[in-house]
Structures are given as structure tokens and as C-alpha cells.
């Protein structure tokens, strides 16, 4: 048996207390505890405790420290159970202690994967331009099961997906002034795929988006691409030069009518 000889408050953390024991060889520092643990075990000067009690006190203090870590982590935003588990692992919290913490958090309703998933979908659709497939992947990475994901993604209805995809497409199209209409659409499709929109939504969005270029806009684009092609093929002449130019501009997405018009105007200039 050991006797508690002194309890002092830590200078840097007023919620933690240093416990000093005498195990028969005089007073010495033994361990520190959280204020919650101090109260729970009613630790006080003169109290006798055995080795088993010391181990139990230290275990509960480890749980309390891990619990405080998790609470601070949750204070920033909602987290999934997997996120909290991974965070505690990075903080070198042992798995049995992490399990105790997660059980306690769930009992206190600090964690709920279903509520987290619904909130996550709403936040992503309102603050980002991500599509539903990318949001699904992110939820899966956060440890949310398929049934919950399927239910939560309904917070992102089809009409909102199309509306968001249209905005993404039109924004990109405004930046694609040096591209042909066909290439601009291809780039919009690729961007929407990367952002997690399914093909049916992309098809609807590109049909509804204002992606059509006026004739003068298409001519401005081909002039830019044409000048680049000219620098590449200026060593050729005659028929070979014309064929090289046509092939290059066709690959850039321009119609043969636009290409013929551009080449004709280039001759005049």
C-alpha cells in the first residue's frame, strides 16, 4: 500500500494535479491526473491506495486525456468516427483507450455518423462545386457506410446537381476563348468528371449551358491556334503546308468550314 502525501496543482495546467506517494521509502512524485479523475476517485492527502488502484487511476486518466483531445478536435467541426479514431492514433492513443473514448462520445451524442454524413453533403453542395460522386468518395474515405451515404446524398437533388454543373461549365467556357467550341465542351466534360458529376448530369448540363460560340468568337479562337500552327509548319509550303494546317486545326476541334474560311483569310493577309 502507498499513502498519498501531497497533491499539487500543475503550474502550466490548472486542471491537472501532481500526486506524490510514500511507498515506504519516503515521499516521491508518482503520477498526475485530470481534475475529473481526482474527483472521481476522491483522491486526497493521507489516502491509502494499492497498486491495482494506481493502475486503474492511470488508465482512467489516459482515457480522460484522450477524451479531451477528441473534444478539442470536434470543436473545429463535426467529425466521423473514423476521423476521430485516426486522429487519436496519430496522437499515439492506444486502441482500447480510443474505443472507450468513442463509446463515451457516442453516448453523449458528440458523434453520429448519420448526422455527420447529412451535414457533410449539405455543406459540400452549398460551399463547393463538387459533384455527388466525389462527395460519395469522400464520405467513404471518412468511414461512412454505404447505406448512410445513399440516404445522405439525397440532400443533393438532381436539379441542384445540374444547376451546379451548368455554372461550372459556363465559368470554364468564359476562360476558353482561345479554344474551339468542341474542345471547350470536351474540357468542360473532363472537368465535370473530375469534380464528381455522373455522365447523365454532365449531358444535361452541357445541353443547357451556354457553350455556343458566336462566329466571330470561333474565328478569334482559330486565329490564335492558327498562328501557333503556322510557327510550327512554316517550313512547309504549298499543298503540304495547307494539309498540315488543316490537320492541326481539325485536331483542335474546328470545323472544316471554319478552317477553310481562316486559311482563305490568311492568304489575303
Domain boundaries, the chain: 1-49, 113-155, 158-208, 218-268
Q: What is the pLDDT of residue 147?
A: 97
Q: Which residues of 190-201 are buried (b: 16+ CB within 10 A; e: fewer)?
A: ebbeebbbeeeb
Options 1.10.3470, 2.40.10, 1.10.10, 3.60.21; CATH for 218-268 is: 1.10.10
Q: Which CATH architecture has domain 113-155?
A: Orthogonal Bundle (1.10)
Give 75-122 pLDDT, tens digit per residue: 989 999 999 999 999 999 999 999 999 999 999 999 999 999 999 999
Options 1.10.4160.10, 1.10.10.10, 1.20.1050.10, 3.90.850.10; CATH for 158-208 is: 1.10.10.10
**Average pLDDT of the residues in 123-134:** 96
Task: Look at 97 and 268; give whichever has higher pLDDT.
Answer: 97
**Average pLDDT of the residues in 225-234:** 88
Q: Is the pLDDT of residue 269 over 60?
A: no
Give 18-63 pLDDT, tens digit per residue: 999 999 889 999 999 999 999 999 999 999 999 999 999 999 999 9
Type and span of the H or E element at 49: strand 48-49
Q: What is the pLDDT of residue 257?
A: 86
Give 151-203 pLDDT, tens digit per residue: 999 999 999 999 999 999 999 988 888 888 889 999 999 999 999 999 999 99
The strand order across the sheet containing 16-22 reads: 27-34, 16-22, 2-9, 48-49
Q: Do domains 113-155 and 218-268 have the same CATH topology?
A: yes
Percent of the chain with pLDDT over 70: 99
Q: What is the pLDDT of residue 268?
A: 52
- Decide: pTM greater than 0.85: no
Measure the CA angle with vertex 77, ends 75 and 79; round to 5°: 105
Q: What is the pLDDT of residue 141?
A: 97
Amino acid at each position: 500500500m502507498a499513502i498519498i502525501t501531497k497533491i499539487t496543482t500543475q503550474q502550466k495546467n490548472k486542471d491537472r494535479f501532481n500526486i506524490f506517494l510514500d511507498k515506504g521509502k519516503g515521499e516521491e512524485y508518482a503520477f498526475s491526473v485530470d481534475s475529473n479523475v481526482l474527483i472521481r476517485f476522491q483522491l486526497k492527502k493521507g489516502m491509502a491506495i494499492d497498486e491495482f488502484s494506481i493502475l486503474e487511476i492511470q488508465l482512467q486518466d489516459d482515457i480522460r486525456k484522450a477524451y479531451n483531445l477528441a473534444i478539442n478536435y470536434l470543436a473545429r467541426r463535426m467529425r466521423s468516427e473514423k476521423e476521430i479514431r485516426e486522429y487519436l492514433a496519430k496522437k499515439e492513443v492506444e486502441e482500447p483507450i480510443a474505443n472507450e473514448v468513442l463509446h463515451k462520445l457516442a453516448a453523449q451524442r458528440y458523434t453520429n455518423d448519420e448526422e455527420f454524413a447529412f451535414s457533410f453533403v449539405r455543406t459540400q453542395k452549398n460551399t463547393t462545386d463538387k459533384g455527388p460522386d466525389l462527395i460519395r468518395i469522400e464520405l467513404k474515405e471518412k468511414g461512412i457506410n454505404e447505406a448512410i451515404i445513399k440516404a445522405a446524398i439525397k440532400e443533393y437533388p438532381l436539379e441542384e446537381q445540374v444547376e451546379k454543373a451548368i455554372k461550372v461549365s459556363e465559368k470554364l467556357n468564359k476562360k476558353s476563348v482561345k479554344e474551339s467550341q468542341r474542345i471547350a465542351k470536351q474540357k468542360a466534360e473532363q472537368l465535370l468528371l473530375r469534380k464528381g458529376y455522373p455522365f447523365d448530369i454532365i449531358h444535361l448540363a452541357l445541353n443547357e449551358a451556354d457553350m455556343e460560340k458566336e462566329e466571330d468568337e470561333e474565328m478569334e479562337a482559330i486565329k490564335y491556334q492558327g498562328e501557333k500552327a503556322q510557327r510550327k509548319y512554316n517550313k512547309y509550303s504549298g499543298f503540304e503546308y495547307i494539309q498540315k494546317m488543316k490537320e492541326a486545326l481539325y485536331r483542335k476541334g474546328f470545323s472544316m468550314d471554319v478552317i477553310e474560311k481562316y486559311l482563305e483569310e490568311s492568304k489575303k493577309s
